[in-house]
């Protein structure tokens, strides 16, 4: 719990695979009394403006409905490479160095993430720099230009990112679990892509994706921060209103199918700890089961003293950390369980974790599951999980960049006409909903499993 | 000092203290800045009201941390702090769980920190339990043993992170493996050496009303939070305020630390001992950290974009009361490690020799101030920064004074600071990767 933990590179183009970034990004703001202003420009750009006046900061997140889901084996990694180049390699009117210098002069945090579904670009800076921020984002996102030499330069950076991911057992295991969880589906490709595709990529490869997907009609923009809504709307219209209107790319994908057979990978690396990652197919972003699975995830593996680590520690007391994340994507979802423990205990924890999750379909989660005196002593896991979700919402309210990212995700992924207020839907979940969700998504036991343990010493 | 007793007296006393407290400062950052008052037990409370969420976060800062750990007992501060959060009553633990209240802790260079974070509606319930366990912790042999087992595992796990490994190695080298350079989780030998009496002595010495203070950020009114803290934290032992040594860093004779790791990338870092965190020193150190490795356009950025040597280029400044330790580092493919090492030295030498330009200084000031605003945007982070500034001797209100301190840094002043602090012959070279021999 030392606070000098590893931190992500400030301006590194990060991957949305980091679970914290892609966790259930609900329409947090729709809970608020003043939910901000939503508008759609004539060219199809969807915009959400939300005043958050506690600090003189402005956060802008721009998302495009393009991710690794839109790639093929032959193009796997192009979206990630494109995201890097857009962020760091310049535009038709400015070089990458000039963009970087401008960003620095205006005190901006500047980053981007590629995920299975979306590519998102962030800028956060002093509130007085709103016009620069909007014009900069328009320039890099809609007037992108790159030479082959610049592209080749960024390829080497991407290959370094590959190496870094493969050296990090947590990132590596997560990437492998998600690939194994969706065989035959576009989600089964690594968001990082394939080295050989990245190495061979040409400017035309990139521009093919860029021209198709980086258009106003495929984009959502969220602005959160210290501004007056009417002023910001005027500025957004002025900066983005002249973008051409274009048709939306129509390439809907099939929904991800349940895993038919477990896939197990056991790897050895130069690590000291043991890492075990389990993935289960879960409901998609718009599925009615999402609420129950979110609560179930809190009960089992996320919140304060959840069930799963307690049960695993009765089996092996070397279990250090257990976490559980629900990743709700457009065409399917995943529940990923991550466990760190003494390497020698990883094999038995593989079995114990799967069996424990199988039994989740018959657990009692609420006081109401008990009768008589037992009700008095039973712990109400359900109520606890609902409070934990409220707690998470409270935390999200404090971070402007997180709010903006959540809004963009919602605008681009939601397909429900009336999704309802998120906390209201969570409030309706009862213990039987959790058992049904566990039976449907966890009980069959088919999962993608990746373990990473230290290399055996050579004799 | 004897505590006043009697409800009426407490109320009068509290009102008087509140009236005497420094008024909320008008700042450019917040309409009303943080303020300081004192509980009836004289324990200071730093408080900032923030209605951005219906959440409260309270930190109990216990000065000491790694600096207070005697030689050979590495891990003592962490273990003691951990034991203060053992909840003996299962029913109480369940109440906290049901309310989604979180109690966590950390142990840093100059302090230990216990954090209580909850929905504000549950604050009293959280403080009731926290007050009981922290003021009268259960330090049984069984719990001590379990704590040591987990610490051994955490220490092992840290080694899987090359950046953290490099950072720990730098502190260890500058402080000769003691005080700020001791291992937070301890080693097999030091954990074995820690006895229950050591833990009790550490607790009695540092977890006292004369030493500790609270830092809180909440949507609730300050008076309400103060009243709850007074109600539930009235039994902290008075003790004496302990003087805690703050040893200065010593540049080691052996300027290179190599740690072996069979990985695809090599971590290459250069670490420097920086001047102490006075307001001027802190502002200059912050600027140098941002200048070297934070974001696009930083001094190391070209090693990524132009020279294609790394994905991760970065800098990090760890403050202690005696000094800062600045690390400039990158992670590169093993075959590029020699070239990357030379390039890192070249960039740092150029900065040392030529200094910064006026334009670069202005951009860095803007970057540093904006980064700081983002850093304190959430309540939890702000609570930590308020407490950290207090521990470092800068005072909590430096949170509203940092901008002025940054603005006051002149071009000549910063270049003189760089000249003094970043001399190449004072750099500690830290390498974590497959080519190095075993750790020395």
Q: Which of A445, A155, A148 is nearest to A279 (CA)?
A: A445
Nearest chain B residue to A171 by CA distance is B161
Q: Is A26's pLDDT higher than 70?
A: no
Which range (A234-248, B266-280, B312-326, B417-431) has the least confidence?
A: A234-248
A109 touches B at CB < 8 Å: yes
Q: Which of residues 239-268 of A touch B (CB under 8 A)?
A: none
Domain-located, residue A160:
yes
B121 touches A at CB < 8 Å: no
Q: Does ipTM exceed 0.90?
A: no
Q: Please state the rounded mean pLDDT for residues A179-200.
A: 96
pLDDT interval class at B24 (50, 70, 90): very low
Domain-located, residue B276:
yes
Pair of tokens at residue B114: 């216990």
Q: Is B1's pLDDT higher than 60?
A: no
Dist CA B287 CA B414 (whole Å): 9
Question: Cβ contact (<8 Å) for A391 and B100?
Answer: yes
Dist CA A54 CA A41 (whole Å): 28
A164: which chain B residues are within 8 Å (Cβ-Cβ)?
Answer: 264-265, 311-312, 331
Tell me, yes or no, whether B415 and B298 share the same domain: yes
Nearest chain B residue to A96 by CA distance is B305
Tell me, yes or no, whether A225 and A286 share the same domain: no
B183 touches A at CB < 8 Å: no
Residue B400: CA count within 13 A, CB half-sphere: 16
Tell me, yes or no, whether A111 and A170 share the same domain: yes
Beta bridge partners of A91: A144
Tell me, yes or no, whether A157 and A23 share the same domain: yes
pLDDT on residue A23: 38
Pair of tokens at residue B232: 């539930």
Which range (A304-308, A428-432, B130-134, B390-394) has the least confidence?
A: A304-308
Question: Cβ contact (<8 Å) for B367 and A1?
Answer: no
pLDDT on residue A116: 96
What CATH number does the domain containing A337 carry?
A: 3.30.830.10
Q: Please state the rounded mean pLDDT for residues A309-316.
A: 86
B48 touches A at CB < 8 Å: no
Residue B64: CA count within 13 A, CB half-sphere: 30
A57: which chain B residues are within 8 Å (Cβ-Cβ)?
Answer: 370, 373-374, 377
A153 touches B at CB < 8 Å: yes
pLDDT on residue A54: 87
Tell me, yes or no, whether B356 and B397 share the same domain: yes
B152 touches A at CB < 8 Å: no
Task: Share the mean pLDDT of chain B.
Answer: 90
Tell me, yes or no, whether B182 and B82 share the same domain: yes
Dist CA A81 CA A192 (whole Å): 9
Q: Is A382 exposed, middle or buried (0-12, 13-18, 19+ CB in 10 A)?
A: buried
A164 touches B at CB < 8 Å: yes
B30 touches A at CB < 8 Å: yes
B318 touches A at CB < 8 Å: yes
In terms of residue numbers, what domain contains B76?
A: 7-232
Q: Is B338's pLDDT higher than 60?
A: yes
pLDDT interval class at A420 (50, 70, 90): confident
CB A412 within 8 Å of CB A220 = yes
Q: Convert the pLDDT of each residue in A346-358 to its tens digit.
A: 999 999 999 999 9
Tell me, yes or no, whether A385 and A316 share the same domain: yes
Domain-located, residue A51:
yes
**CB neighbour burial string for B394-409, b if at least 16 within 10 angstroms, e if fewer:** bebbbbbbbbebbeeb
A394 touches B at CB < 8 Å: yes
Domain-located, residue B427:
yes
pLDDT interval class at B440 (50, 70, 90): very low
Beta-carbon contacts of B43 under 8 Å, excluding residues fewer than 6 positions away, are B209, B212, B213, B214, B229, B233, B236
Q: Which of B87, B122, B82 is nearest to B101 (CA)?
A: B122
CB A180 within 8 Å of CB A265 = yes
Neighbours of B440 (CB within 10 A): 11
Beta-carbon contacts of B71 under 8 Å, excluding residues fewer than 6 positions away, are B178
Question: Cβ contact (<8 Å) for A317 and B149?
Answer: yes
Domain-located, residue A251:
no
pLDDT on residue A425: 94
B314: which chain A residues are within 8 Å (Cβ-Cβ)?
Answer: 7, 9-10
Domain-located, residue A22:
yes
B196: helix, strand or coil:
helix
Domain-located, residue B29:
yes
Q: Convert the pLDDT of each residue in A126-138 to its tens digit.
A: 999 999 999 999 9
How far apart are the CA of B367 and the nearest CA of chain A, in angstroms?
4
Q: Is A6's pLDDT higher than 80?
A: no
pLDDT on residue A33: 56
Backbone angles phi, psi at A276, to 5 degrees: -130, 125
In terms of residue numbers, what domain contains A330?
A: 263-454
Tell me, yes or no, whether A354 and A279 share the same domain: yes
Q: Convert the pLDDT of each residue in B217-240 to its tens digit.
A: 999 999 999 999 999 999 998 888
Q: Please state the rounded mean pLDDT for residues B249-269.
A: 95
Tell me, yes or no, whether A295 and A425 share the same domain: yes
pLDDT interval class at A303 (50, 70, 90): low
Domain boundary pick from B182, B198, B232: B232
Q: Please state the rounded mean pLDDT for residues A445-457.
A: 92
Instruction: Domain count for chain B, please give it.
Output: 2
Question: Cβ contact (<8 Å) for A394 and B162?
Answer: no
Domain-located, residue B247:
no
Question: Cβ contact (<8 Å) for B306 and A100?
Answer: no
Percentage, residues of chain A above pLDDT 70: 91
A100: which chain B residues are within 8 Å (Cβ-Cβ)?
Answer: 296-297, 301, 305
Domain-located, residue A212:
yes
Q: Please state the rounded mean pLDDT for residues A53-78.
A: 96
Tell me, yes or no, whether A90 and A132 share the same domain: yes
Q: Indicate the length of chain B as a whole number.
A: 440
What DSSP line would sit under A421-435, residue for residue?
A: -HHHHHHH--HHHHH
Dist CA A191 CA A13 (whole Å): 13
Tell me, yes or no, whether A221 and A343 share the same domain: no
B265: helix, strand or coil:
strand
B149 touches A at CB < 8 Å: yes
Domain-located, residue B238:
no
Domain-located, residue A250:
no
Q: Please state the rounded mean pLDDT for residues A238-256.
A: 88
Domain boundary pick from B232, B267, B296: B232
Tell me, yes or no, whether B167 and B100 share the same domain: yes
B153: which chain A residues are within 8 Å (Cβ-Cβ)?
Answer: 273, 318, 320, 341-342
Tell me, yes or no, whether A269 and A404 share the same domain: yes
Pair of tokens at residue B250: 């010593």
CB A431 within 8 Å of CB A369 = yes
Give chain B's count of helices (H) and strands (E). Answer: 16, 11
Domain-located, residue B184:
yes
Domain-located, residue B248:
no
Radius of gyration of chain A (CA): 23
Question: Cβ contact (<8 Å) for A6 and B161?
Answer: yes
pLDDT interval class at B5 (50, 70, 90): very low
Q: Which of A129, A163, A400 best probes binding to B when mutated, by most B CB atoms within 10 angstroms?
A: A163
Candidate from B78, B262, B294 with C-beta closest to A10: B294
How far apart are the CA of A295 and the nearest CA of chain B, in angstroms?
13
Q: Convert the pLDDT of each residue in B7-22 to its tens digit.
A: 333 333 333 333 333 3
pLDDT on residue B13: 32
The Cα-based distances of A198 to A192, A329, B14 in angstroms read: 9, 25, 66
**CB neighbour burial string for A232-250, b if at least 16 within 10 angstroms, e if fewer:** bbebbeebbeebeeeeeee
Biggest alpha carbon distance in chain A?
Answer: 74
Instruction: Domain count for chain A, please give it.
Output: 2
pLDDT on residue B93: 77
Dist CA B40 CA B11 (whole Å): 9
pLDDT on residue A371: 83
How far apart are the CA of B296 and the nearest CA of chain A, in angstroms?
5
Tell me, yes or no, whether A101 and A205 share the same domain: yes
B375 touches A at CB < 8 Å: no
Q: Which of B273, B269, B328 is nearest to B299 (CA)?
A: B328
Q: Which of B344, B440, B219, B104 is nearest to A2 (CA)?
A: B104
Domain-located, residue B51:
yes
pLDDT on residue A365: 92
CB B230 within 8 Å of CB A239 = no
pLDDT interval class at B135 (50, 70, 90): very high
Tell me, yes or no, whether A218 and A298 share the same domain: no
Domain-located, residue A312:
yes
Give chain A's count of helices (H) and strands (E). Answer: 17, 12
What CATH number does the domain containing B219 carry?
A: 3.30.830.10
Q: Is B28's pLDDT higher than 50?
A: yes
pLDDT on residue B12: 33
Radius of gyration of chain B (CA): 23
Domain-located, residue A459:
no
Tell me, yes or no, whether B104 and B25 share the same domain: yes
Q: Which of B26, B32, B28 is nearest to B51 (CA)?
A: B32
Structure-model confidence comparison of residues B167 and A395, the more confident one: B167
A126 touches B at CB < 8 Å: yes
**CB neighbour burial string for A168-182, b if at least 16 within 10 angstroms, e if fewer:** bbbbbbbbbbbbbbb
CA end-to-end span of chain A, whole Å? Answer: 36
Q: Convert the pLDDT of each residue in A221-231 to its tens digit.
A: 999 999 999 99
Planar angle of CA A79, A85, A88, nearest 5 degrees: 140
Task: Share the mean pLDDT of chain A.
Answer: 89
Question: Cβ contact (<8 Å) for A107 and B93?
Answer: no
Dist CA B314 CA B267 (whole Å): 11
Size of interface A-B (CB pairs under 8 A): 221
Give me the helix-helix angle, B141-158 and B162-174, nearest 10°.
110
Q: Is B3's pLDDT higher than 90?
A: no
Nearest chain A residue to B388 by CA distance is A3
Dist CA B158 CA A271 (whole Å): 10
Q: Is B346's pLDDT higher than 90?
A: yes
Q: Which of B56, B129, B158, B297 best probes binding to A when mutated, by most A CB atoms within 10 angstroms?
A: B297
A371 touches B at CB < 8 Å: no
A397: which chain B residues are within 8 Å (Cβ-Cβ)?
Answer: 52-53, 55
Dist CA B117 CA B122 (whole Å): 10
Question: Cβ contact (<8 Å) for A12 and B157?
Answer: no
* Strand ranges in A260-320 using DSSP code E only, listed in sequence order: 263-269, 274-282
CB B119 within 8 Å of CB A322 = no
Tell me, yes or no, whether A175 and A270 share the same domain: no
Question: Cβ contact (<8 Å) for B314 and A10?
Answer: yes
Q: Please state the rounded mean pLDDT for residues A47-68.
A: 95
Tell me, yes or no, whether B420 and B317 share the same domain: yes
Tell me, yes or no, whether B216 and B301 share the same domain: no
Q: Is A196's pLDDT higher than 50?
A: yes
Dist CA B413 CA B419 (whole Å): 10
């Amino acid at each position: 719990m030392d606070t000098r933990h590893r931190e992500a590179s400030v301006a590194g183009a990060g991957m949305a695979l980091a679970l914290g970034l892609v966790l259930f990004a609900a329409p947090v703001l729709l809970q608020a009394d003043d939910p901000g202003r939503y508008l759609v420009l004539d060219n199809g750009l969807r915009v959400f403006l939300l005043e958050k006046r506690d600090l003189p900061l402005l956060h802008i997140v721009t998302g495009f409905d393009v991710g690794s889901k839109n790639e093929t084996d032959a193009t796997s990694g192009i979206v990630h490479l494109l995201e890097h180049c857009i962020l760091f390699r310049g535009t038709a009117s400015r070089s990458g160095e000039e963009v970087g210098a401008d960003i620095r002069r205006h005190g901006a945090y500047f980053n981007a993430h590629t995920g299975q579904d979306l590519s998102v670009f962030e800028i956060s800076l002093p509130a007085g720099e709103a016009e620069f921020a909007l014009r900069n984002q328009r320039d890099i996102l809609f007037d992108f230009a790159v030479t082959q030499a610049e592209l080749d330069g960024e390829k080497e950076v991407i290959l370094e990112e590959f190496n870094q991911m493969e050296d990090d057992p947590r990132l590596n295991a997560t990437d492998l679990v998600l690939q194994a969880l969706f065989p035959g589906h576009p989600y089964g490709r690594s968001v990082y892509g394939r080295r050989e595709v990245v190495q061979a990529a040409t400017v035309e490869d990139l521009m093919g994706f860029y021209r198709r997907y980086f258009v106003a009609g495929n984009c959502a923009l969220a602005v959160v921060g210290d501004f007056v809504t009417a002023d910001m709307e005027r500025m957004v219209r002025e900066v983005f209103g002249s973008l051409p209107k274009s048709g939306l790319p129509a390439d809907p994908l099939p929904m991800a199918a349940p895993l038919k057979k477990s896939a197990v990978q056991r790897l050895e690396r130069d690590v000291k700890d043991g890492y075990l990652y389990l993935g289960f197919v879960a409901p998609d972003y718009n599925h009615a089961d999402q609420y129950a699975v979110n609560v179930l995830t809190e009960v089992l593996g996320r919140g304060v003293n959840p069930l799963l680590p307690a049960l695993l520690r009765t089996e092996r007391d070397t279990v250090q950390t257990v976490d559980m994340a629900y990743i709700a994507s457009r065409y399917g979802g995943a529940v990923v369980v991550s466990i760190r423990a003494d390497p020698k205990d990883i094999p038995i924890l593989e079995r114990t974790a799967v069996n424990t999750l199988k039994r989740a379909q018959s657990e009692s989660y609420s006081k109401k599951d008990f009768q008589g005196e037992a009700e008095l002593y039973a712990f109400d896991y359900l109520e606890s999980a609902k409070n934990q979700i409220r707690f998470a919402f409270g935390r999200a309210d404090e971070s402007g960049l997180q709010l903006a990212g959540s809004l963009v995700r919602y605008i681009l992924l939601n397909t429900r006409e009336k999704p309802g207020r998120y906390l209201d839907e969570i409030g309706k979940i009862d213990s039987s909903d959790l058992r049904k969700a566990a039976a449907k998504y966890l009980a069959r036991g088919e999962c993608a499993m990746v373990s990473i343990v230290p290399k055996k010493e050579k004799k | 000092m004897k505590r006043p007793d009697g409800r009426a007296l407490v109320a009068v006393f509290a009102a008087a203290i509140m009236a005497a407290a420094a008024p909320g400062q008008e700042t450019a950052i917040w309409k009303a800045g943080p303020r300081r008052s004192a509980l009836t037990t004289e324990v200071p409370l730093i408080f900032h009201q923030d209605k951005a969420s219906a959440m409260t976060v309270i930190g109990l800062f216990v000065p000491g941390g790694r600096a207070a750990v005697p030689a050979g007992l590495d891990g003592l501060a962490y273990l003691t702090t951990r034991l203060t959060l053992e909840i003996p009553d299962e029913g109480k633990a369940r109440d906290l769980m049901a309310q989604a209240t979180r109690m966590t802790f950390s142990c840093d260079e100059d302090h230990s920190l216990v954090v209580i974070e909850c929905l504000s509606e549950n604050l009293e319930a959280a403080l009731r339990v926290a007050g009981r366990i922290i003021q009268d912790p259960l330090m049984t042999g069984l719990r001590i043993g379990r704590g040591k087992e987990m610490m051994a595992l955490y220490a092992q796990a840290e080694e899987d992170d090359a950046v953290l490994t490099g950072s720990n190695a730098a502190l260890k080298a500058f402080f000769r493996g003691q005080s700020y350079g001791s291992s937070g989780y301890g080693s097999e030998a030091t954990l074995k050496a820690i006895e229950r009496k050591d833990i009790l002595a550490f607790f009695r010495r540092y977890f006292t009303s004369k030493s500790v203070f609270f830092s809180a950020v909440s949507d609730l009114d300050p008076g309400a939070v103060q009243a709850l803290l007074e109600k539930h934290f009235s039994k902290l032992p008075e003790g004496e305020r302990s003087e805690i040594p703050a040893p200065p860093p010593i540049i080691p004779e052996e300027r290179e630390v190599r740690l072996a790791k069979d990985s695809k990338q090599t971590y290459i870092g250069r670490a420097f001992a920086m001047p102490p965190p006075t307001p001027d020193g802190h502002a200059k150190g912050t600027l140098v950290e941002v200048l070297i490795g934070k974001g696009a356009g930083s001094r190391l950025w070209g090693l990524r974009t132009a020279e294609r040597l790394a994905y991760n280029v970065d800098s990090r400044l760890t403050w202690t009361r005696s000094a800062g330790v600045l690390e400039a580092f990158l992670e590169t493919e093993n075959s590029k490690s020699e070239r990357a090492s030379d390039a890192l030295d070249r960039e740092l030498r150029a900065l040392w020799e030529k200094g910064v330009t006026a334009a670069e200084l202005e951009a860095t000031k803007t970057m540093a101030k904006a980064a700081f605003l983002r850093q304190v945007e959430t309540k939890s982070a702000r609570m930590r920064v308020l407490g950290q500034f207090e521990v470092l001797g800068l005072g909590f209100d430096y949170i509203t004074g940092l901008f002025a301190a940054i603005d006051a840094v002149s071009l000549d002043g910063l270049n003189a600071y760089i000249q003094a602090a970043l001399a190449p012959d004072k750099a500690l070279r830290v390498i974590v990767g497959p080519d190095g021999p075993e750790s020395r």
